[in-house]
Amino acid sequence: MRKILLTIAAFALLISGCARAPLSDSSEALISYEETLEINDDLGWNSLHAAIENLIKTWEKKNRDEMALRFGPHMVPASVYFAALEGLLLDLRLDRSGGRFVWSLLNNFDVYVVYGNEEPGDVLVTSYYDPIIKGSPFPTRKYSQAVYRKPKDLVTIRLDRYEETFPRAQWVIKAEQDLRGRVVRATNGGMKPPRIVPYYSRHEIDVDQKLGSQKLEIAYVDPVDSFVMQIQGAGTIHMTNGKKISLGYDGQNGHKYVALEKILAARIPKEAINMQAIENYLRSVPKTEAQESMDQNPSYVFFKKLDGPSKASFGSSLMPGRTIATDRGLFPKGTLAFLEFSEPRFVQEESGKIKRDEYGRPYTGSWVKKSRFVIDADTGGAIRGSGRLDLYWGKGRVAARVAGVMNQRGRLFYFVPKPSYIEALGRSSRLKND
């Protein structure tokens, strides 16, 4: 794959050596970038064509005239950004080498880098995937944990709507983060009005069986498989009756996500802990002890059946290696970005199997630098801040193996239509309407 150099003018980056101020507002989440950005899409231009085409089809279903996208200090009408995506897709169709596509980015877009962690652009790149697990249509000793649909009594409080009405209100929680709960009504015939309380925690759902009366069960699976699938937000269940059920994210109980890395720090060395080590630990201890550990993360995910492939929160299909999840309060969903990161290469035994350590983690022999265009279309409970990114890797064991070890530094960039290009798109739109 040939490399194409892309140079964009902007302002200088922060002075090295100075402590960085914390990000105070979403308008600071992206910074104009001035350097030579080396573009090399390791998945190929045909793959990118499919990803942008998939994204455009999703945008077509949305009310773009009433939407705007925030790119740091800039607000771009969704209808304008949609037109820009259509232009980029046409460039790829006319020139499969990618040259025309990159030329359009050079001339019609500005490059912005994320605020990041220690320096602009710096992000921690982790990965997620769709587990493929086994299950049963009814509870058994092995498949004892229900996978639930979204409860009917789960209510959502949109704090951003309150902020529109009460702009001076001092919210403890940011307006981008919705509150979830359930309505409790007086049962003794008293005059007390209904009230909203936090929704059930993981322990209340799994152990106390608080959802048992609502008949929300989709299937029954192994408790650890259920826990892992909730962390990933989607999955496929191969049922004992031969059926396959594809599941997608359909809601969360509103409790804070607590990573088990911290909970199990006394049992698994810090340098050895990752998702695979955690899963192996949970399977190695008695079920009650495993449940006690999982209960430390009160966050709970509800699912819905899917007719097709897994979807990102934006509504587009998840594209292996292309879809990313970021903080939805800081970065615009349904947009094109560029990612630089490192991909693992595993050590194989003579038999061809991947060599693993005492914690069940595959040995990583080396890390290979990669770069590609990605689609920001998803979010996640643990993906918070300007320096976090989750890259979707695909389905099954191979994807799980890579996702389990991904914990590398990378750089993330976004492309913002230039004002002159926005004006040209506006003129073109008016001409079409006339």
Measured between alpha carbons, how far is residue 123 from residues 118, 282, 342 in Å? 9, 29, 12
List the Cα angle 82/3/70 in 5-degree steps.
30
Task: Check if the beta carbon of residue 235 is closer than 8 Å to that of residue 394.
Answer: no
d(CA 83, CA 203): 47
Each of the 434 residues of the chain gets a pLDDT tens digit; together they read 434 444 333 333 333 344 467 777 888 999 999 887 888 899 999 999 999 999 999 999 999 998 999 999 999 999 999 999 999 999 999 999 999 999 999 889 999 999 998 889 999 999 999 999 999 999 999 999 999 999 999 998 877 666 666 655 554 444 445 788 898 876 666 667 788 899 999 999 999 999 988 999 999 999 999 999 999 989 999 999 999 999 998 989 999 888 888 888 888 887 778 888 899 999 999 999 999 999 999 999 999 999 888 889 999 999 999 999 999 989 999 999 999 999 999 887 667 777 877 667 777 888 999 999 999 999 877 788 999 999 999 999 889 989 888 989 999 999 999 988 877 776 665 445 44
318 within a domain of the structure (yes/no): no
182: domain CATH number is 2.40.240.50
311 within a domain of the structure (yes/no): no
53 within a domain of the structure (yes/no): no
39 within a domain of the structure (yes/no): no
325 within a domain of the structure (yes/no): no
195-208: burial string, b at 16+ Cβ within 10 Å, e else:
eeeebbbbbbbbee
List residues bridging with 337 in a β-sheet.
Answer: 374, 414
Q: Which of 152, 305, 149, 308 lies closest to 239 in space, CA to CA?
A: 305
409 within a domain of the structure (yes/no): no
Measured between alpha carbons, how far is residue 389 from residues 28, 87, 257, 366 in Å? 17, 27, 16, 21
207 within a domain of the structure (yes/no): yes
136 within a domain of the structure (yes/no): no
- Split into its structural domains, the chain has a count of 1
Q: Which two tokens stand for residue 220?
A: 């029954």
Predicted TM-score (pTM) of the model is 0.81
Beta-carbon neighbour count of residue 140 at 10 Å? Answer: 11
Q: Could you list the residue range(s) of the whole structural domain that residue 202 is in? A: 141-231+248-304
Token look-up 């496929």 returns 236
Q: Judging by DSSP bridges, how do beta strands 132-136 and 234-239 pair with one another? A: parallel
